[in-house]
Structure 1
């Protein structure tokens, strides 16, 4: 299996024709760019969110062209400190034009099966997937690109189901 980098994954998102969707399933992420800001937030110190600037620019450009950038976060309640921080910083994503919804894990339909062994994934234009792979510590190793029509259709159906039951960011209170 060949994995692409986060940069290559972002290039796939940037090249979307109409929509990109991200499903997040973890309650904690070890993203090196976020370590300092997250630690500052935990200490109730001022936080620099400069690490989000390139993402926000890309989302603004895409949504300005009429393309959708959406994500559903399935989270455990009570939240981990990371999810509390992520919720607090989501306003930056929303201001850039990204639509984000939250779904408490205990409200996920019991018969729902997440494909790809419960890994996070991006669905781009209902034509390809970028499935994330992490090491044992949660560090991102890369993304597998999947173009299999059945896998893409299953992901699109799951996206539609989760989007319909998840709460928009402005309505979800931790």
Structure 2
């Protein structure tokens, strides 16, 4: 399986026209850029959001072009420390134009099945998927590009269903 880098995946944002949707299924995302800020937050030292600057710039640029950038975070309750931290910095993401919703696993209908072995994915314009792959330590290895129409339609239906079930960030209190 061929994987593209995170930088290559981010370049997909230049190619989409109306919607980028991210389904997040992990209760921990350990990426090197966040290790320091996360550890400082755990120590009660607050959060320096500078590590988010590249992503916030990309989100602002995309939403300024009239596009939507959305996420559903499927989460386990009680929240892991990492997800608590994510929740605390979500207003910064939303300030850049993202729309983020939370979906506790306990609210998932029994018939929901996540494709791709429960890997996260981005869906761009209902035509292209970028499925994330992680190593044993939770670090991103890259994304697999899928453009098979039947698979894309399946994910678009799942996206729409989860979006309706998920709680907007401003209404979700862990």
Return the TM-score normalized by structure 1: 0.98
Aligned to 1:10: 10
Aligned to 2:171: 171
* 1:17–1:67 CA contact under 8 A, matched in 2: yes
* 2:13–2:62 CA contact under 8 A, matched in 1: no
SS of equivalent residue, structure 2 residue 131: strand
Matching of residue 66 in structure 1 with residue 50 in structure 2: no
Write the distance in 2 (CA, Å) between the matches of 1:88 and 1:46.
10
The aligned runs of 1:109-148 (5 Å cut-off) are 109-148=109-148
Structure 1: gaps of 5 or more residues: none
Write the distance in 2 (CA, Å) between the matches of 1:7 and 1:171.
32
Aligned to 1:150: 150
Give how far 1:132 is off.
0.3
Structure 2: gaps of 5 or more residues: none
Write the distance in 1 (CA, Å) between the matches of 2:53 and 2:16.
20
Give how far 1:82 is off.
0.3
SS of equivalent residue, structure 2 residue 26: coil
Aligned to 1:35: 35
* 1:14–1:58 CA contact under 8 A, matched in 2: no
SS of equivalent residue, structure 1 residue 37: helix
Return the TM-score normalized by structure 2: 0.98
* 1:103–1:166 CA contact under 8 A, matched in 2: yes
Give how far 1:54 is off.
1.2
Give how far 1:15 is off.
2.0
Give how far 1:57 is off.
1.1
Q: Count matched residues.
A: 174
* 2:120–2:132 CA contact under 8 A, matched in 1: yes
